[in-house]
Amino acid sequence: MIAPSILSADFARLADELAAVPTSDWIHVDVMDNHFVPNLTLGLPVVKSLLKVTDIPIDCHLMIEDPDRWAIGYAEAGAYNVTVHVEAANDPIALAKNLRAAGSKAGLSIKPGTPLEPYVEVLKHYDTLLVMSVEPGFGGQSFMADVLHKVRQARHLVDTGHLKLLVEIDGGINADTIEQAAQAGVDCFVAGSAVYDAADPGKAVEALRAQAAGARGTRTT
């Protein structure tokens, strides 16, 4: 699965930018509050507008403080998947239940320096694990390959039936990095500049998907 990140899109032409990637599996929307991360992007009003102009499922990544309070609004608005950070959530298990009750899938994200092990039981309540392969806050950063051990851990837990979720990765995904992420066991790849800096974003999505599919067949354990 390929999820173009509109953080790298032209904010003045968001409807056109979504239309330029018609075969995307999800559209990834980074919400930042300038508190949990040192950047301020868009919020719920823009997400509501995006939902009116695309049928592609919206994948909201909330890099915000107090997601227990704010995340439910994105689910109620119609986002397909709403991801919160484990480092910010007060009660991640209750939050997952509330997101599902509000109509969305529930995603849990972990920063590069956050280990997976303490949250395995929590992840049993989630539909998506988003592994950050850059420090959250800004687009265009370099891929941190050392986080792939967490992807492999999660993939093993899914393959052995201990978890039932989709493994997503976000940060520095492009033609040079997507294959190693796929080999580690990623299901969904968030790609920003690799898509929207391309001459043809739609073709870039297809090329990344083909690379990932080919590499997944030589997956490492």
Q: What is the 3-state secondary structure (H, E, C) of 104-157?
A: CEEEEEECCCCCCHHHHHHHCCCCEEEEECCCCCCCCCCCCHHHHHHHHHHHHH
Task: Tell whether 28 is in a known binding site.
Answer: yes
Helix 67-77 / helix 92-101 crossing angle, nearest 10 deg: 20
Task: Tell whether 24 is in a known binding site.
Answer: no
Catalytic residue chosen out of the listed positions 25, 33, 127, 170: 170
Are 83 and 128 within 8 A, CB to CB?
A: yes
Task: Tell whether 73 is in a known binding site.
Answer: no
Task: Tell whether 193 is in a known binding site.
Answer: yes
Task: Tell whether 202 is in a known binding site.
Answer: no
Active site residue 30: yes
Q: How many angstroms separate the CA atoms of 178 and 173, rounded?
A: 6
Structure tokens at 50: 């995006």
Catalytic residue chosen out of the listed positions 25, 30, 33, 187: 30
Task: Tell whether 171 is in a known binding site.
Answer: yes
Task: Tell whether 197 is in a known binding site.
Answer: no
Active site residue 10: no
Are 40 and 34 within 8 A, CB to CB?
A: yes
Task: Tell whether 162 is in a known binding site.
Answer: no
**Residues tagged in the binding site annotation:** 5, 28, 30, 61, 137-140, 170-172, 192-193
Residues with catalytic function: 30, 170
**Residues tagged in the binding site annotation for a divalent metal cation:** 28, 30, 61, 170
